[in-house]
């Protein structure tokens, strides 16, 4: 059993420790749009019936048009987490299919290792770090050795898999399409795989590799549906890759992996006009920045959906905000960092600003 990772969203635990009812807390610990879109109607059959091919295909076509993935129909998955859990299996399968040395026997997806050296010499994966912790957890748990590299330049032929979160969480670093395509080509030359997680990519679609994906055989892109639309409870994401990879994910997830309501909402919302969502997020981001600026906090990075603050007093600020029933995100590995999600409205901006001002005094 690997240790669970502390994620944002732990309002219940925070309220248990610092008092107050969870509903009264201001939760700034996630990167989810705090202004959810209005829910379109969900037909009764989406709840009642097993998700039919027709519903799945509708959602896939809407995702293709929204993400501009060309001939690729993105695969709906029950949250990016579900496919992160499958990456170890995909890397094993890729090694078997693509490798030049047949040191392993295989019956479809099962690996029977006939040469022990493979576990020693061939299990290195690179994760551009620090980043979302579930990649390292899932890969370590499956026996891979993680190289937590600081930049894509440090990734090379020794790595079976490279993971880049773009823009990165929590620091908001971005890599250009050219840099990532070059990385893909390096990975491909050694039968490796590149995963680009665009979970926070919706607010700047120009960064996305989706439109290049049809030409990049060793690339997998993950998209998150819930963060941008403010519907994280839905558990929906999309994987964008060539058909041979998507077929494996589909096979391993099994039939009906995604709920009918999620597919129905995706089919509607991915075809809707998202410009009001962009405007609202931008307005909220400006509000948050003004509060942090007013409190004299140094903004060290972020995306439109969250802002990273670097401050030597971060631990104390975190506790102080908890006493005001405001939850932000702290990081074990970077004790001077705090990540602030967007506030839902100007009243919450004021509440945060007043709490921060009391810390100053």
Contact set for a copy of itself, span 88-127 (CB under 8 A): 88, 105, 107-110, 112-114, 116, 119
Distance CA 284, CA 181 (A): 33
Our finding on whether 261 is near a copy of itself (CB under 8 A) is: yes
Number of residues that bind a copy of itself (CB under 8 A): 71
Our finding on whether 256 is near a copy of itself (CB under 8 A) is: yes
| List 70, 181, 191, 252, residue binding a copy of itself (CB under 8 A) | 252
- Cβ atoms of 231 and 191 closer than 8 Å: no
How near is the Cβ of 247 to a copy of itself at its closest, in Å? 6
Q: Which residues inside 160-179 make contact with a copy of itself, applying CB under 8 A?
A: none
Distance between first and last Cα of the chain: 45
How near is the Cβ of 291 to a copy of itself at its closest, in Å? 22
Q: Which residues inside 127-146 make contact with a copy of itself, applying CB under 8 A?
A: 134, 138, 141-143
Q: Which residues inside 283-302 make contact with a copy of itself, applying CB under 8 A?
A: none
Query: Is residue 261 classed as helix, strand or coil in its secondary structure?
Result: helix
User: Which residue in 352, 243, 339 sits closest to 299, CA to CA?
Assistant: 339
73's tokens: 């129909």
Residue matched to tokens 């399968």? 93
How near is the Cβ of 185 to a copy of itself at its closest, in Å? 27
Our finding on whether 158 is near a copy of itself (CB under 8 A) is: no
How near is the Cβ of 310 to a copy of itself at its closest, in Å? 25
Distance CA 350, CA 330 (A): 22
CB nearer to a copy of itself: pick between 144 and 337: 144
Instruction: Give the pairing type, strands 326-327 and 26-27.
Output: parallel
- Cβ atoms of 172 and 302 closer than 8 Å: yes
Q: Which residues inside 66-85 make contact with a copy of itself, applying CB under 8 A?
A: 78-79, 81-82, 84-85
Q: Which residues pair with 195 in a beta bridge?
A: 163, 220
Instruction: Give the pairing type, strands 193-197 and 219-224.
Output: parallel
How near is the Cβ of 84 to a copy of itself at its closest, in Å? 7
Our finding on whether 248 is near a copy of itself (CB under 8 A) is: yes
Distance CA 4, CA 1 (A): 9
**DSSP tag of 123:** -
Our finding on whether 346 is near a copy of itself (CB under 8 A) is: no
Q: Which residues inside 5-64 make contact with a copy of itself, applying CB under 8 A?
A: 5, 7-13, 22-23, 27, 30, 32, 36, 39, 44-54
Distance CA 268, CA 42 (A): 9
Our finding on whether 247 is near a copy of itself (CB under 8 A) is: yes
- Cβ atoms of 26 and 351 closer than 8 Å: yes
Stretch that binds a copy of itself, among 177-185, 212-220, 256-264, 318-326 (CB under 8 A): 256-264
- Cβ atoms of 26 and 327 closer than 8 Å: yes
| List 75, 213, 258, 269, residue binding a copy of itself (CB under 8 A) | 258
CB nearer to a copy of itself: pick between 231 and 314: 231
The Cα angle at residue 165 between residues 8 and 97, in degrees rounded to 5: 120
CB nearer to a copy of itself: pick between 193 and 317: 193
Q: Which residues inside 203-242 make contact with a copy of itself, applying CB under 8 A?
A: 230-235
**Count of other CB atoms within 10 angstroms of residue 152:** 18
């Amino acid at each position: 059993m690997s240790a669970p990772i502390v994620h944002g969203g732990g309002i219940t635990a925070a309220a248990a420790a610092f008092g107050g009812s969870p509903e009264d807390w201001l939760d700034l610990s996630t990167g989810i749009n705090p202004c959810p879109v209005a829910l379109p109607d969900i037909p009764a059959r989406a709840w009642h019936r097993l998700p039919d091919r027709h519903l799945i295909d509708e959602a896939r076509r809407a995702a293709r048009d929204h993400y501009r993935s060309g001939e690729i129909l993105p695969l709906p998955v029950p949250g990016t987490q579900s496919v992160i859990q499958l990456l170890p299996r995909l890397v094993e399968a890729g090694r078997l299919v693509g490798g030049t040395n047949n040191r392993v026997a295989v019956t479809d997806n099962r690996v029977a290792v006939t040469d022990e050296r493979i576990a020693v010499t061939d299990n290195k994966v690179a994760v551009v770090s620090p980043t979302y912790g579930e990649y390292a957890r899932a890969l370590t748990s499956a026996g891979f050795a993680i190289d937590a590299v600081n930049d894509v330049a440090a990734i090379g032929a020794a790595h079976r898999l490279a993971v880049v979160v773009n823009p990165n969480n929590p620091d908001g670093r971005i890599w250009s399409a050219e840099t990532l395509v070059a990385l893909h080509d390096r990975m491909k030359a050694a039968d490796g795989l590149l995963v680009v997680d665009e979970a926070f990519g919706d607010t700047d679609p120009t960064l996305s590799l989706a439109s290049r994906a049809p030409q990049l055989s060793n690339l997998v892109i993950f998209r998150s549906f819930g963060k941008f639309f403010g519907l994280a409870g839905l558990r929906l994401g999309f994987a964008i890759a060539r058909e041979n990879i998507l077929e494996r994910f589909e096979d391993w997830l099994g039939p009906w992996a995604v709920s009918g309501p999620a597919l129905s909402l995706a089919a509607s919302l991915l075809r809707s006009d998202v410009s009001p969502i962009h405007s609202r997020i931008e307005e909220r981001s400006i509000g948050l920045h003004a509060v942090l600026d007013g409190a004299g906090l140094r903004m060290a990075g972020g995306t439109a959906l969250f802002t990273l603050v670097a401050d030597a007093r971060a631990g104390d600020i975190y506790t102080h905000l908890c006493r005001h029933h405001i939850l932000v995100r702290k990081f074990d590995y970077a004790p001077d960092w705090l990540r602030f999600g967007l506030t839902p409205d100007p009243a919450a901006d004021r509440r945060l600003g007043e709490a921060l001002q009391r810390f100053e005094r």
